[in-house]
Amino acid sequence: MPAPIEPQDLVFHILNVGFGDNILIEFPADGLGERSYGLVDCNDFSKTKCYLDKLLAIRPGRSKLEFICATHPHLDHISGIRPFLIDEKYRPKEFWDSGFRHNSQTYLRILESILSEGIKLIRVSSGMEWYFGKVQITVLAPSIYLRNRYATYGVDMNNASIVLRIEHHTEDVVLMKSREYEGSLSFEAEREAGRSVVVLAGDAEFDSWSHIAQEFPRLEITSAHKPLVKKMVNYLACAVVKVAHHGSMHSTPLDVYEKMVPNNAVISTEQQMSTKRIDGLQLTRGLFPHPSAIITLEECGARLLTTDGSYESQRDPNLAYPGSIVVVVPPGGKPRWVKLRDTKTQVPDPPTEV
Amino acid sequence: MKKSRKAQVRRITIDEKLSDDLVRFVVCSLKQGVENFIDRDEDWEEEREELLQSRDYTQMFGIMAEEFPWETLKEGQVFLLGGFEVIGDRTAPQCFKVNPGRKELLRIDNLEEFKEEIKYLYSEIMKRR
């Protein structure tokens, strides 16, 4: 049963822009009742701008973006960013960059606009945090270790991706009292730990995930730890993940996803098929998402949603159409989602209830 | 006349190797009326993507495909391709000049001046913080 989107809800709008990423984050209303917005990657300026204008028309908000985060500088993540930087109405306060310098003109023009418009550039690395009211954003990647190897030791662009963990707390987390409780290692307990967490994974691949797993380990308690250690920590547990790299074969490691245990996995994509000939055998399969990523996500019990409807056309006929995906996270609550019905060139109406 | 010149010089960046057999190139053409150029953004039209499989590579990029086989392409490589000539040393060009009568190919991302340009730009932004 759909429920109205409340002013205190955090909302993610994962727009269907074909093969690429384009995620508008709608932060809860502030003391004046106004919402603010952040943009994580932008493959389509025109669609994003029109959608944002529609949002501003139905809920009070400020058009000037809090930030634009370019997870990494591949074209399908940055091609729509520059017009936002040079538009007085939307110009972001900050630009979050992975620090990986690409040679495309598109990226160079973004840098030139940041310089000419006086926008603050933040070179992001793991452990950094921002707070927007009760919403806490933590950077899971890139790790410092990978960032220091960009120029010299061949870290590729996908592994330079910014990965964000976004949690909507019930109260102001900086002022929150520490809670003492005992945890147990169970599927249900881990899911509960990530109840109001959304992970936006950019295009991170195995190298990046290995560092995330090291830097944000799942810490279990044993009887020997008690009573000093009272809490099981699993920083990777989440309710929703925007799957890395459009569900490619190198981006969805099973062991990491077993720690994330997402309820929902959203893949922003436009399927590409590949045919290989191996020893006389012809193999045809999808690359984005790849069957290995689908198996991993299904093994973890995640409900898959794709913006092109390619997965659903095989498994979930009721949702077998393309569309943007909207995820609503109440403070401390369980996310709800809806799939809109828009092709990559259409601008859907933002929902008022989910 | 100008229109044909515009189509004759392209800047090609290897954006992403999506699989062994699929690469996204980003390509822009030299702006109409530009005669002498270096790698400045005002010289170039907007970039567009070309998603290519290996079998289409030769047909699309001709001499580039011969000199830089599919297997050797790496993300971040940048090539100039088309009717132009290099003014000065090929390893440290002063500039490039449109010459529709020639067919030239030059990899530029490994040239010192090119590398310095983006480093300088990034450092200017970082310093300004």
pLDDT at B36 over 70: yes
In a domain, B105, yes or no: yes
User: What are the helix (H) ranges across A96-149?
Assistant: 105-117, 144-147
Query: What is the domain count for chain B?
Result: 1
Per-residue confidence band for B3, with pLDDT thresholds at 50, 70 and 90: very low
Q: For residue A229, what are its two tokens?
A: 């250690």
Please report whether residue B115 resides in a domain.
Answer: yes
A152, pLDDT greater than 90: no
**Burial group, residue B45, by CB count within 10 angstroms (0-12, 13-18, 19+):** middle
Query: Which chain B residues are closer than 8 Å to A114 by Cβ?
Result: 125
Interface confidence (ipTM) of the complex: 0.93
Confidence of residue B5 (pLDDT cuts 50, 70, 90): very low
Rounded Cα distance between A91 and A135, Å, is: 22
Domain contains B37: yes
**Do residue A121 and residue B121 have CB atoms under 8 angstroms apart?**
no
Which of A104, A121, A122, A292 to probe by mutation at the B interface, max B CB count within 10 Å?
A: A104
Side-chain-facing half-sphere of A32: CA atoms under 13 Å: 6
Nearest residue of chain A to residue B78 (CA atoms): A103
- In B52-81, the residues whose Cβ lies within 8 Å of chain A are 75-78
Q: What's the pLDDT score for residue A173?
A: 77
Instruction: Tell me the percentage of chain A whose pLDDT exceeds 70.
Output: 92
pLDDT (mean) for A200-220: 94
Nearest to A115 by CA among B121, B46, B118: B121
The two tokens of residue B88 are 């000065």
Q: SS3 for A11?
A: strand
B1 lies in some domain: no
Q: Judge whether B3 lies within some domain.
A: no
Backbone angles phi, psi at A310, to 5 degrees: -70, -40
Residue B75: domain span = 9-128
Q: What is the DSSP letter of B88?
A: E
Q: Please say whether the beta carbons of A244 and A267 come within 8 A.
A: no
Residue B29, classed as helix, strand or coil, is strand
- Which two tokens mark A86? 């040079």
Burial classification of residue A317, based on how many CB atoms lie within 10 Å of its CB (0-12 exposed, 13-18 middle, 19 or more buried)? exposed
The pLDDT tens digits of the residues spanning A235-275 come to: 999 999 999 999 999 999 999 999 999 999 999 999 999 98
Contact A319, A340 (CB under 8 A): no
Pick from A280, A325, A272, A281: which is nearest to A22 by CA?
Answer: A325
- Please indicate, yes or no, if residue B108 is contained in any of the structural domains: yes
Across the range B74-98, mean pLDDT stands at 95
What percent of chain B clears pLDDT 90, i.e. is strictly above it? Answer: 76
Contacts of A79 in chain B (CB under 8 A): 47, 49
- The candidate with the shortest Cα–Cα distance to B78, out of B17, B13, B26, is B13
A290 contact residues in B (CB cutoff 8 A):
none
Q: Do A156 and B75 touch (CB under 8 A)?
A: yes
Q: Looking at residues A194-213, what average pLDDT do you find?
A: 96
pLDDT for the residue B8: 86
Model confidence, pTM: 0.94
Question: A147: helix, coil or strand?
Answer: helix
Give a yes or no: residue B27 inside a domain: yes
Residues of A with CB under 8 A from a CB of B: 74-76, 79, 101-106, 108-109, 111-112, 114-115, 118, 120-121, 123, 156-158, 248, 272, 274, 276, 287-288
Predicted confidence (pLDDT) per residue in A61-92, tens digit: 999 999 999 999 999 999 999 999 999 999 99
A74 and B76 within 8 Å at the Cβ level: the answer is no
Residue contact B126–A105, C-beta within 8 A: no
Using CB atoms, pick whichever of B22, B77, B126 lies closest to residue A274. B22
Is B97 contained in some domain?
yes
Question: In whole angstroms, what is the distance from residue A49 CA to residue A54 CA?
Answer: 9
